[in-house]
Structure 1
Amino acid sequence: MPAAGARKPMRERFREQVREEVKAAALAQLAEGGAQAISINAIAKHLGVSGPALYRYFASRDELLTVLVIDAYGDLHAAMARVLEPGLDAEAQIRLLAAAYRAWARAEPHRYELLFKPPIPGYDAHAQPLAEAARALMGLVMGVLHQRDSPAAYGNDEVLAARSAGTDQFQLAVAVWSRLHGFVSLEIGGGFTAMHLDADALFETEVQVLTGRIS
């Protein structure tokens, strides 16, 4: 391990650069054609290298997809955590979290969809790293509901314990997430547009229902 402040070895920096370029190319494929369109061989051709060469950086398409999913969870978590304001009550914080959740999903619809359904047949969408990333979002909501100091969050083990015990905070956090997810999925899927509904007005109603449950 390099000393504090020291640059990483060139080989390690090059590896990280290639991995980032592969992920960027995969995200472009995702936006264009969904998860099914992601192809390491196509990415290799785009980057001007051979397919086998890229397998030194990602052993399989599943591994690449897993990294993309975890990155998306991390970005969504960061977007939600960023809006929290110390001193606000739980109702106000939930309003901020809900707005941030919706805004991220609308800005990143293909990445959002990647989070909540198996991207390709046979992919293990419940593998431990993915489950832990999902629980980080739940922990954030639970921390707000429990009025912890900012940054409000339950850790992975605490979320697991709360789930096992069926605590009120966990049940309420699930209710918050399920309503938000249902709304956002319909919105980015075009459901409200097809029905000529005012999505902003509907969202405000949903948020009122959510905050009413914690008042």
Structure 2
Amino acid sequence: MAARVSSPRERYREQTRSEIKAAAVRQLAAGGVESVALLRIAKEIGMSGPALYRYFASRDDLLADMVLDAFRGAAEAIHAVDTTTPGRAALHALTRAYRAWALAQPHLYLLIQGTPVAGFTAPAETLLQARSVLGPFLSVFVQGRPLAAVDPLLDGPRAWLSGEAEVAAWVRQWTDLSADTPAAAVTLTGAIMAWSQMHGTVSLEVSGQFTGMGHDPAGLLDVQTTLLADAFQLR
């Protein structure tokens, strides 16, 4: 089937939406999420306020699009990592890639992982985009053999897999593992641990909490990743 060709009007609309979002990202980078204001964006790009509202119905509508774009950017950085050979090398590559993206786009990182915006409800698609970012982390744990210290954590992911078909399908997509296999709970546990550990370090670095502490955040993340790989006996 031939690809649908967009009309000039549709292309103009998407171009204008992109211009609006670019201005919003500049405001976000300059002053945080509270500085994003539709009327100020309209003035910056030479558009009237009522005209801008034809493209985004509200500030929250604009923020929702920006959140999805941020997750897509993070997913692009993560999916560029070669995880065809699962194991600790791939895990290190993933955590480094995510840290690099967050440091290059700190305002977007904080938009999706920082302090929640008061009154803002993220669109339903956000969950799918977040899982797209986390998916490759599942694949690196497919041959994991967790140490006994990890055992107390396995029951939660096991119940999650058996109780939610969407989660089981997501794990299968990235690992080819059925939800009822022990390895599926292991991979999900590993990904959750990697995600929480990585965000703890990256969030502190991006928000400047490591300033003056006299250590290298990149080195800290690498050591934490090595310890996690050891806990799952990854090769």
Structures share fold, TM-score greater than 0.5: yes
Tell me which residue corresponds to 2:224.
206
Matched, 1:108 2:105: yes
Within the candidate set 17, 28, 32, 2:15 is matched to: 17
Tell me which residue corresponds to 1:195.
213
Within the candidate set 120, 123, 129, 2:125 is matched to: 129
So what's the TM-score if we normalise by structure 2?
0.78
- 1:173/1:36 CA distance change after superposition, 3 Å: same
Matched, 1:26 2:24: yes
Counterpart residue identity of residue 96, structure 2: A
Taking CA–CA contacts closer than 8 Å with sequence separation of 6 or more, which of the two structures ends up with the larger relative contact order? 2
Matched, 1:93 2:90: yes
Pairwise CA RMSD: 2.3
Distance in structure 1 (CA, Å) of the matches to 2:59 and 2:213:
37
- 1:85/1:177 CA distance change after superposition, 3 Å: closer
- 1:57/1:175 CA distance change after superposition, 3 Å: same
User: Residues 129-183 of structure 1: CA distance to partner in whole angstroms, max 9, x if unpaired?
Assistant: 1122112222221123226xxxxxxxx9245776x98922222211100000000
Q: Where does structure 1 lack aligned partners over 5 or more consecutive residues? A: 148-155
> Among the aligned pairs, what percent are the same residue?
39
Q: Where does structure 2 lack aligned partners over 5 or more consecutive residues? A: 144-164, 172-178
The structure that has the greater radius of gyration is 2
- Kindly tell me the number of residue pairs found equivalent between the two proteins: 202
Distance in structure 1 (CA, Å) of the matches to 2:230 and 2:24:
41
Tell me which residue corresponds to 1:84.
82
* SS, match of residue 135 in structure 1: helix
* SS, match of residue 89 in structure 1: coil
Deviation at 1:204, TM superposition (A): 2.0
User: Residues 65-92 of structure 1: CA distance to partner in whole angstroms, max 9, x if unpaired?
Assistant: 1111111111111101101143x23211
Distance in structure 2 (CA, Å) of the matches to 1:71 and 1:111:
9
Tell me which residue corresponds to 2:6.
8
- 1:57/1:159 CA distance change after superposition, 3 Å: farther
Q: Is the 8 A contact 2:24 2:41 kept in 1?
A: yes
Counterpart residue identity of residue 51, structure 2: A
Q: Is the 8 A contact 1:22 1:43 kept in 2?
A: yes
User: Residues 89-114 of structure 1: CA distance to partner in whole angstroms, max 9, x if unpaired?
Assistant: 32111111011011001111110011
Moved more, 183-192 or 196-205: 196-205
Distance in structure 2 (CA, Å) of the matches to 1:55 and 1:158:
37
* SS, match of residue 80 in structure 1: helix
* SS, match of residue 205 in structure 2: helix
Tell me which residue corresponds to 1:184.
202
So what's the TM-score if we normalise by structure 1?
0.85
Tell me which residue corresponds to 1:157.
166
Tell me which residue corresponds to 1:138.
134
- 1:185/1:159 CA distance change after superposition, 3 Å: farther
Distance in structure 1 (CA, Å) of the matches to 2:104 and 2:195:
18
Tell me which residue corresponds to 2:149.
none
Q: Is the 8 A contact 1:139 1:159 kept in 2?
A: no
Distance in structure 2 (CA, Å) of the matches to 1:32 and 1:76:
20
